[in-house]
C-alpha cells in the first residue's frame, strides 16, 4: 500500500472518531455532521495527494496550501472558511485526545469574499404563506410548523427535534436544543400557539394504535418528520400560496430576525432569541435592516436617489 493510501486509512479512522464525538458528545445534527465529514474527507484527500502521513508533521504552510487549492477549485470564500473550521476543530479534538501536539490550522483564514446577505420574506409574503388553508391533519400540522418556525426563529434541526414535552403552551414557550447541544427557551406567539393547539387536536390521527411517539411533529406513518420532509412541505405551501420564490425553512428564521430587528432595534434581544453565542453572527441582520431603511429613504426622499 502506498504512503498516500496509508494517509487516507489513518485519517479515516481518526475522522470517524471525531465525527462520533460530534454526534454523541456535542449532539450535532446529522446535517452539520455530514458537512464536517465532507470537508474532512477533502482534507484527507489533499493530504493523500501530498503524501502527508503523519498528523504531527502537518504545518501551517500545508494548511494554507490546502486553502489555496480549494480556492483554485472554485470554492467560495464561505466554503473554504467552513473547510478550515472543520480542520481546526478536528486538530483540536486530536490534541484533546493526545494524538496531536499542535493545531496548524489555528492561524489560517479563508480569503475574503463578498458576504451574501440571507434571503428573507417581507411581511406581506409571510402573511400570504401563513394564511390558513385546509383543515385536515396534514394541513394543521404544516400550518403549526410554519407558524412555529417563524414565530420562534427556529432552525430546521431544532424544529424536527422538538418533543411534546418541550412545548409549554400555557407559558407560550418551547425548550429548544440548538447547535452544539446548547439549550434555550424560545417564545411562541399567539398565532403559533393557536396553530399548535389545533394540530394537537388531530395529531393522534397520524399515529398507530397505542403509539408512544414523543415527537411533536409526525409523518403520515407516525414517525418523527425528517429534515427533508419538512423542506418538501414548506416548498409545497410556498407554491400553493403564490410565493414566486423557493422557500427554505431557514428563510423563515432570517425573516423572524429581520422583522424583529426592524421593529425593535434591539440587537442583543435578537441574539438571545436566535440562540447565537456571538453577537457578530447576529450583526448580519443589521445590514439587512440598513438595506430596508435605505430602500425607504430612496423611495420617500425627493432628492435621495443614490447612485448604485
Q: Quick check: is 253 catalytic?
A: yes
Q: Quick check: is 233 catalytic?
A: no
β-pairing, 183-187 vs 167-168, is: unpaired
Cell of 167: 412545548
Q: Round to whole Å and give the CA distance between 150 and 84.
A: 32
SS3 content of the chain, % helix, strand, coil (to 5): 60, 5, 35
Active-site pick, 82, 102, 179, 191: 179
Q: Quick check: is 23 catalytic?
A: no
Question: Do the beta carbons of residue 190 and residue 293 sit within 8 Å?
Answer: no
> Reduced to 3 states, what is the DSSP secondary structure of residue 219?
coil
β-pairing, 173-177 vs 167-168, is: antiparallel
In 50-122, where does DSSP find H-type helix?
A: 60-72, 77-96
Active-site pick, 140, 233, 259, 276: 276
Q: Quick check: is 285 catalytic?
A: yes
Active-site pick, 23, 69, 184, 250: 250
> Reduced to 3 states, what is the DSSP secondary structure of residue 163?
strand
Active-site pick, 233, 253, 254, 259: 253
Active-site pick, 83, 140, 141, 155: 155
What residues act catalytically? 155, 179, 250, 253, 276, 285
Amino acid at each position: 500500500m502506498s504512503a498516500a493510501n496509508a494517509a487516507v486509512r489513518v485519517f479515516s479512522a481518526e475522522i470517524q472518531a471525531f465525527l462520533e464525538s460530534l454526534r454523541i458528545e456535542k449532539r450535532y445534527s446529522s446535517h452539520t455532521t455530514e458537512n464536517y465529514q465532507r470537508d474532512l474527507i477533502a482534507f484527507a484527500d489533499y493530504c493523500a495527494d501530498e503524501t502527508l502521513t503523519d498528523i504531527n508533521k502537518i504545518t501551517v504552510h500545508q494548511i494554507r496550501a490546502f486553502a489555496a487549492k480549494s480556492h483554485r477549485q472554485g470554492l467560495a470564500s464561505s466554503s473554504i472558511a467552513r473547510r478550515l473550521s472543520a480542520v481546526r476543530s478536528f486538530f483540536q479534538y486530536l490534541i484533546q485526545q493526545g494524538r496531536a501536539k499542535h493545531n496548524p490550522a489555528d492561524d489560517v483564514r479563508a480569503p475574503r469574499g463578498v458576504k451574501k446577505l440571507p434571503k428573507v420574506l417581507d411581511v406581506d409574503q409571510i402573511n400570504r404563506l401563513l394564511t390558513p388553508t385546509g383543515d385536515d391533519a396534514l394541513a394543521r400540522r404544516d400550518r403549526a410548523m410554519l407558524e412555529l418556525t417563524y414565530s420562534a426563529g427556529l432552525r430546521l434541526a431544532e424544529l424536527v427535534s422538538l418533543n411534546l414535552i418541550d412545548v409549554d403552551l400555557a407559558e407560550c414557550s418551547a425548550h429548544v436544543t440548538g447547535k452544539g447541544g446548547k439549550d434555550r427557551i424560545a417564545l411562541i406567539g399567539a398565532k403559533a400557539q393557536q396553530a399548535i393547539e389545533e394540530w394537537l387536536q388531530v395529531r393522534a390521527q397520524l399515529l398507530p394504535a397505542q403509539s408512544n411517539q414523543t415527537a411533536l411533529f409526525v409523518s403520515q406513518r407516525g414517525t418523527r418528520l425528517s429534515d427533508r420532509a419538512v423542506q418538501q412541505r414548506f416548498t409545497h405551501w410556498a407554491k400553493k400560496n403564490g410565493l414566486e420564490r423557493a422557500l427554505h425553512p431557514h428563510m423563515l428564521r432570517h425573516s423572524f430576525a429581520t422583522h424583529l430587528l426592524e421593529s425593535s432595534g434591539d440587537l442583543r434581544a435578537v441574539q438571545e432569541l436566535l440562540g447565537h453565542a456571538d453577537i457578530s453572527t447576529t450583526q448580519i441582520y443589521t445590514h439587512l435592516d440598513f438595506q430596508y431603511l435605505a430602500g425607504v429613504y430612496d423611495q420617500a426622499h425627493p432628492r435621495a436617489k443614490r447612485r448604485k
